[in-house]
Amino acid sequence: MGVGKLVVIADNVAAVRETLRETIEQLYEDRVASGELRVDTYEDGSGVVSLCAMTAPDLVILDVAMPGLDGIETFYCIKEVAPAAAARVVFLTGLAGSETVRARIDRAIAAGACGCLPKPATAAEIKSLLDARVFAA
């Protein structure tokens, strides 16, 4: 077996990032147990940018509304240091109804991010995302 897949989650709210991590680990319990999948969490975007400068995660889930670097700003920073990783960014937001936020997300997707999940995301939405973006043949 080769190197395992890495999914990175950044959200400033610990309960959100831990719930998302636990959901992914439960959905892919066998892959986590075998070392085929690892889920890392960060409380802000700067740690994710540093990680992406060193390694390319298979998926990066960024909360849009984080203090400091928000998720969209984090995407553009990742794009500067690791363009391949930027193409694996998915935004997570409960603010998609805001025209301003939606326009920023749409611009980031046009610039190379791969999508947006609602917050909270359902287990089915998360599984669909990982099946398509991380485990597609």
Whether 1 has a pLDDT exceeding 60, the answer reads: no
- The yes-or-no verdict on residue 2 having pLDDT over 70 is no
What proportion of the chain, given as a percentage, has pLDDT over 90? Answer: 88
Domain of 21, in residue numbers: 5-130
Does residue 84 sit within a domain?
A: yes
d(CA 62, CA 52): 13
Provide the CATH number for the domain around residue 51.
Answer: 3.40.50.2300
pLDDT in tens, 74-128: 999 999 999 999 999 999 998 767 899 999 999 999 999 999 999 999 999 999 9
Is residue 136, in this structure, part of any structural domain at all? Answer: no
Output the furthest CA–CA distance in the chain (Å, rounded).
Answer: 45
Task: Give the total number of structural domains in the chain.
Answer: 1
* Residue 130 CB contacts under 8 Å (≥ 6 apart), including other chains: 7, 24, 27, 28, 59
Q: Does 20 map to a domain?
A: yes
Q: Kindly state whether residue 135 falls inside one of the protein's structural domains.
A: no
